[in-house]
Copies of this chain bind each other. A is one copy, B any other.
């Protein structure tokens, strides 16, 4: 990252360009990658344990935009959180996200053989290893958050655990995945409200809690936490609309995964309901809504505003 240009833009309070934002995003990604590499279990132990640890590292390291970690770390930075603590929260939410992908890719779920252009865990090892690696990554997310290194206050650590558990459990991400499978099995496409609720549970809840964790670590007033949450909720919906658009308009080479899959599976998406132009317009609206929630923070929130724009403009 060009630190000088970065600081100049910061001083001017100007929204930053796509290239500059990409540099900020990859700096955060590199930081959380280091943290994950250090925290994940080393590849040792007996037969079976070695595969488990290798699969946990494989599923978590070296991939993805790290949007969730970025949100935890960038909100943390705005809330005065030391970087080492925010990076731990970022690592925890990435472990949780990685577990959900490993289980989601399994044959009994979405049955995906590729993830970020590489064989999925059950293809590279086995279904049993995929089940266990996902289970181990979920436990690890809570282990990281509950550790005193994440924050000296037990109240803060317990709250981080509580919010992550709520966002990822049956009333959050896991509930959303069940709803998704159920809607597919019922072969009755969801209506607009149904698609919105599905997205909010399946991907929105974890994006929201990622940003919220930065604010919880900063022990900021509840009103600030609420603005951060509303920002992340709008960003999460924009992110999902962009995903649905990419499934229709993107290429496999760009996205690193199979495209046109949702339509093939008969899944209702935002694009089905709003059309391509309608979905683009709605995404733009959500980016503006997200930015408006951050107005009270002034120019220092420009990275988060750029994140909202980026989620819509990305090509993968």
Contact = CB atoms under 8 A, between A and B. Distances in A.
A208 to B, nearest CB: 15
Interface in A94-150: 99-100, 103, 106, 108-109, 126-132, 134-136, 138-140, 142-143, 145-148
Contacts of A48: 178-183, 185
B47 A182 contact: yes
A143 B169 contact: yes
A223 to B, nearest CB: 21
A194 interface: yes
Interface stretch (A26-34, A61-69, A153-161, A283-291): A153-161
Interface string A149-187: 000011111110110111011111011011111110110
A201 B170 CA distance: 27
Q: Which of A127, A134, A159, A165 has the most CB of B within 10 A?
A: A165
Contacts of A47: 179, 182-183, 185-186
Contacts of A181: 48, 128-129, 132
The main secondary structure of chain A at its interface with chain B is helix
Interface stretch (A51-59, A228-236, A260-268): A51-59
Interface residues of A, number: 66
Interface of A: 41, 45-53, 56, 99-100, 103, 106, 108-109, 126-132, 134-136, 138-140, 142-143, 145-148, 153-159, 161-162, 164-166, 168-172, 174-175, 177-183, 185-186, 194, 197
